[in-house]
Chain A
Amino acid sequence: DVKVTQSSRYLVKRTGEKVFLECVQDMDHENMFWYRQDPGLGLRLIYFSYDVKMKEKGDIPEGYSVSREKKERFSLILESASTNQTSMYLCASSWTVSNQPQHFGDGTRLSIL
């Protein structure tokens, strides 16, 4: 069974801090994704990666960056955290870019104070 593991279930940080959210998958998937989920807004794609060191912007990349140095690991970075980045962050992975289901981690609930 596919396992997508996010480093933290809950995280509290302060405004202006640099925040790292880590995601690891164990199925050798080529593609990995970062979403944020907010009430009433559904899932919005921040960034995705289709290969090591490759990345593509999603719908809401502003204020975020990503890193994929190894195939199994995809990191989301908040360069300077702000209160409007308080949210649930979900990582997902899949075999190919399209026509394959995405497998999600349990999510990180991030609070920026």
Chain B
Amino acid sequence: GQQVMQIPQYQHVQEGEDFTTYCNSSTTLSNIQWYKQRPGGHPVFLIQLVKSGEVKKQKRLTFQFGEAKKNSSLHITATQTTDVGTYFCAGYGAGSYQLTFGKGTKLSVIP
């Protein structure tokens, strides 16, 4: 079945440093979604990418979808303590009804 791998599993950064998490799928995705889960909270939808090579920005967050639609990345510029949490990518395979989640990257920000 479809697998979505996400690295790194953990990332500790000093406040103000940049952060990137990477997502790779074993199969071509029809779209990819990103979620953020704060400590003690539930996953919250951030964004969806659909087109090959698509890049979207939300303030300090930049999301990319690879040309082959098999990989994606989330980059945070100048991290803040409010960025703490676990970031998940999740993708639908072509013709699939199931959203497959990566295992997430847990971000810690040291003030």
Q: Does A106 contact B (CB under 8 A)?
A: yes
From the candidates B42, B92, B102, name the one contacting A105 in the complex (CB within 8 A): B42
Q: How far is the CA of A31 from the CA of B100 in the complex (A)?
A: 15
Return chain B residues, CB-CB under 8 Å to A106.
41-42
- The A/B interface has a contact count, at CB < 8 Å, of 55
Which of A80-108 touch B at CB < 8 Å?
90, 97-99, 101-107
Q: How far is the CA of A48 from the CA of B100 in the complex (A)?
A: 13
Q: Does B110 contact A (CB under 8 A)?
A: no
Instruction: Write the chain A residue with the least CB distance to B1.
Output: A59
Q: How far is the CA of A40 from the CA of B10 in the complex (A)?
A: 10
From the candidates A42, A58, A99, name the one contacting B98 in the complex (CB within 8 A): A58
Instruction: Judge whether B9 and A40 touch: CB under 8 Å.
Output: yes
Instruction: Write the chain B residue with the least CB distance to A92.
Output: B43
Most buried by A among B33, B42, B100: B42
| Distance of B23 from chain A, by nearest CB (Å) | 12
Stretch touching chain A among B13-21, B44-52, B63-71, B73-81? B44-52
Instruction: Judge whether B98 and A45 touch: CB under 8 Å.
Output: yes
Chain A interface (Cβ < 8 Å from any Cβ of B): 33, 35, 40-45, 48, 50, 56, 58-59, 90, 97-99, 101-107
Besides the contacts A42-B102, A99-B92, what 12 more A-B pairs have beta carbons closer than 8 Å?
A40-B9, A42-B101, A42-B103, A43-B101, A56-B97, A58-B98, A59-B1, A98-B99, A99-B30, A99-B50, A101-B48, A105-B42
